[in-house]
Structures are given as C-alpha cells and as structure tokens.
Amino acid sequence: MKPDVCVPCGEGLVNIRVGALIVKDGKILMVESSRGYFYSVGGRIKMGETAREAVVREVFEETGVKMPVKRLIAVHENYFRGDMSTNLGKLIYEVSFFFLMNVPEDFKPVCDSVTEEGVRESLAWVGPDTPKQIYPDFFREEILNPSETVRYSLTDER
C-alpha cells in the first residue's frame, strides 16, 4: 500500500487530503465522530494518486459506493494543533481539495468504524441547522447554496 502524503516539517506536519461534498435532499453526508462533531467524508491522498483518484477511493472506502466526481468545489488551507496521541499539540498545515460528487439516486451508504485512536465514526446526513460543529465550516453554506466556482477558504488556529 502506498503511503499517505503526510510529511514531517520541523516540529509539525504537512497533510494533503481530499474531501467529498455528497449532497442529497438538502443534506450533506458527513462522518459523525463520537467526539461530538461532523467532518467531511475523505482522507489523505496517497503518494502517486491524483486528488480526483483519492476522493473516489476515499468515498468508496467510507461508503462502499464507487461515486464519480462532478467537479472541484473548494480548496481549503487549515492550520491547527493535533489532538490525537500521534500528533498531540503539533502544528499541522493541511491543504484539502473538496469535490462535489455525482450522487446516485439509490445511494445508501454504510459505515461504522473505529479509528486508530479508538474514536467511533459513523455516517450521517446533516442539514445546515445542526447544532453540532461541522468541519470544514463552509460546508453549512454549501448545503444551501453550492458554489458555482472553486471556493478558497482558510482556517488558522495557530
């Protein structure tokens, strides 16, 4: 298996990842963490993969469905501090490519897993009015009004 594109950089890390915007009936399919928040379906790009290939692979791994890409919808830069035992307190710089996916009419995803850190994850359809935190933040707006052009966003929690 090819390694993830995750590179140590001084005291921190650089991650290159993808995320999927899977919209159906005014809701987005997201991963719900047992830590009390939602985040996008997706993950790290593997060395030698394109972002488009990576998002198709990640969607399949997390939902069991091969779903075609419609288009690139956003690029997100994110500075944050790690909260897992392997990166606790480290500064992480992450660049994510988000793709709007072509969702099949009969789409019925299946996912229930536990991360390396023992955090339970499951898939959930999330509307813009959910009181829980959604990562990335701009997904709330995309539920109601998907961008026609590629959006750029920055989250800086240094």
pLDDT of residue 138 exceeding 90, the answer is no
pLDDT band with cut points at 50, 70 and 90 for residue 33: confident
Please state the pTM of the whole predicted model: 0.89
Q: What integer is the mean pLDDT of 6-11? A: 95
Burial 55-88 (b: 16+ CB within 10 A, else e): bbbbbeebbebebebeebbbebebebeeeeeebe
In a domain, 1, yes or no: no
Task: Please report, for the chain, how many H helices and E strands are present, in that order.
Answer: 2, 11
Domain extent, residue 118, equals 6-156
Domain assignment present for 39: yes
Binned at pLDDT 50, 70 and 90, residue 11 comes out as very high
Number of domains in the chain: 1
Measured CA to CA, the distance from residue 129 to residue 25 in angstroms comes to: 14
Q: Please check the confidence at residue 7 and state whether its pLDDT lies above 90.
A: yes
> Looking at the domain assignment, is residue 17 inside a domain?
yes
Q: Which pLDDT tens digit goes with each residue over 91-124?
A: 999 999 999 999 998 888 866 554 556 666 789 9
Phi first, then psi, for residue 32 (nearest 5°) are -100, 125
CATH of residue 117's domain is 3.90.79.10
